[in-house]
Structure 1
Amino acid sequence: MLSGSSITRKKMKPSRMFWHTSGREQELENCLMVLMKYTKMAYGSSDGADKKKKVAIIGVSSLILVAMVVAVAVGVKSNNSSDSSNSGNAAPASELSTSSKAVKALCAPTDYKETCVKSLEPAAGNTTDPKELIKIAFDITMKTIKEAIANSTTLKDLAKDPRGKVALDNCQELMEHAIDDLKESFEKLGTFEMSKLQTFVEDLKTWISGSLTYQQTCLDGFQNTTGEAGQKMKEFLKISWELTSNGLAMVDEFSKVIGSFNFQGTSRRLMESDEAPSWLDASKRKLLAATPATIKPDVVVAKDGTGKYKTINEALKDVPVKSAKQFVIYIKAGIYKEKVDVPKNLTNVVMIGDGPSKTRITGDISYVMGVTTTWQTATFSAVGAGFMAKDIGFENTAGPEGHQAVALRVQADKSVFYNCHMDGYQDTLYTHAHRQFFRDCTVSGTIDFVFGNALAIFQNCKMVVKKPMDNQKCIVTAQGRLEEREPTAIVFQNCSITAEPALLAVKDINKSYLARPWKEYSRFILMQSQIDGFIQPEGFLPWMGTFAINTCWYAEFGNRGPSAVTTHRVTWPGIKKLTAETAVDFTPAKFFLGDSWIPATGVPYEPGMMNV
Structure 2
Amino acid sequence: MLTAAGTTSTAVAAGVPAPAAKAVAATTRTVAADGSAQYRTVQAAIDASAAGDTVSIAKGTYREVINVPTSRTGLTIKGDTGNAEDIVITYDNAAGTRKPDGTTYGTRGSATATFAANSLTVTGVTVQNTWLRSEHPDITDTQAVAVTAQGDRQIFRNDRFIGHQDTVLNWSPSATGQYRQYFRNSFISGDVDFIFGDATAVYDRVNITLRDRGAAAGGNNGYLAAPNTNSAKKYGILITGSTISSPAAANTFSLGRPWHPTADAVGQLVIRDTALPAAVRVAAPWTDFGTFPWKSARFHEYANTGPGATVNANRPQLTAAQAGEYTAAAYLSGTDGWNPVG
Q: TM-score, normalised by structure 2?
A: 0.80
- The match for 1:481 is 229
- The match for 1:333 is 59
Aligned mates of 1:300, 1:597 — CA distance in 2: 29
- The match for 1:151 is none
Aligned mates of 2:165, 2:329 — CA distance in 1: 31
Are positions 1:362 and 2:95 aligned together? Answer: no
Give the C-alpha shift of residue 539 in structure 1: 1.0
Are positions 1:310 and 2:49 aligned together? Answer: no
Q: Secondary structure at the match of 1:315?
A: helix
Aligned mates of 1:376, 1:580 — CA distance in 2: 41
Equivalent residue letter for 2:225? T
- The match for 2:181 is 436
Equivalent residue letter for 2:223? I
How many residue pairs get matched? 291
Are positions 1:464 and 2:194 aligned together? Answer: no
How do 1:5-44 residues align onto structure 2 when only pairs under 5 Å count? none
- The match for 1:48 is none
Aligned mates of 1:472, 1:588 — CA distance in 2: 31
Q: Secondary structure at the match of 1:530?
A: coil
- The match for 2:165 is 426
Q: 1:466 to 1:400 in 2, by over 3 A?
A: farther
How do 1:135-214 residues align onto structure 2 when only pairs under 5 Å count? none
- The match for 1:301 is 31
Q: Secondary structure at the match of 1:585?
A: coil
Are positions 1:548 and 2:293 aligned together? Answer: yes
Q: For structure 2, list consecutive stretches of 5 or more residues without a partner in the other structure.
A: 1-22, 99-103, 137-141, 173-178
Retained in 1: the 8 A contact 2:286–2:294? no
How do 1:224-373 residues align onto structure 2 when only pairs under 5 Å count? 298-320=28-50, 323=51, 326-353=52-79, 354=81, 355-370=83-98, 371-373=104-106
Give the C-alpha shift of residue 593 in structure 1: 0.9
Give the C-alpha shift of residue 304 in structure 1: 1.8
> 2:328 aligned to 558, 579, 588, which one?
588
Q: Which has the higher helix share?
A: 1
Aligned mates of 1:576, 1:536 — CA distance in 2: 14
Retained in 1: the 8 A contact 2:204–2:328? no
CA deviations over 1:295-341 (Å, ceiling 9, x no partner):
xx611101122211010111012222xx3xx2111111111101100
CA deviations over 1:483-525 (Å, ceiling 9, x no partner):
x2123411001011110x3x24xx46xx111001112411110
Give the C-alpha shift of residue 469 in structure 1: 6.2
Aligned mates of 1:358, 1:400 — CA distance in 2: 26
Give the C-alpha shift of residue 596 in structure 1: 4.1
Give the C-alpha shift of residue 582 in structure 1: 1.3
Retained in 2: the 8 A contact 1:400–1:426? no
Q: For structure 1, list consecutive stretches of 5 or more residues without a partner in the other structure.
A: 1-280, 285-296, 600-604, 607-612
Give the C-alpha shift of residue 468 in structure 1: 2.0
Retained in 2: the 8 A contact 1:531–1:562? yes
Equivalent residue letter for 2:327? T
Give the C-alpha shift of residue 551 in structure 1: 2.3
Equivalent residue letter for 1:480? N
Are positions 1:560 and 2:293 aligned together? Answer: no
Give the C-alpha shift of residue 362 in structure 1: 0.3
Aligned mates of 1:555, 1:472 — CA distance in 2: 21
Retained in 2: the 8 A contact 1:457–1:491? yes
Q: Secondary structure at the match of 1:562?
A: coil
Of 335-344 and 587-596, the range deviating more from structure 2: 587-596
Equivalent residue letter for 1:463? I
Equivalent residue letter for 2:325? D
Q: 1:534 to 1:469 in 2, by over 3 A?
A: closer
Aligned mates of 2:160, 2:34 — CA distance in 1: 23
Q: Secondary structure at the match of 2:43?
A: helix
Equivalent residue letter for 1:389? V
Equivalent residue letter for 1:372? Y
Equivalent residue letter for 1:498? S
Aligned mates of 1:589, 1:409 — CA distance in 2: 22
Give the C-alpha shift of residue 557 in structure 1: 0.6
Aligned mates of 1:589, 1:446 — CA distance in 2: 28
Equivalent residue letter for 1:496? T
Aligned mates of 1:430, 1:416 — CA distance in 2: 14
Alignment RMSD: 2.2
- The match for 1:215 is none
Q: Secondary structure at the match of 2:296?
A: coil
- The match for 1:490 is 237
Aligned mates of 1:336, 1:596 — CA distance in 2: 36
- The match for 1:517 is 258
Higher gyration radius (CA) = 1
Aligned mates of 1:300, 1:441 — CA distance in 2: 23
> 2:147 aligned to 401, 404, 408, which one?
408
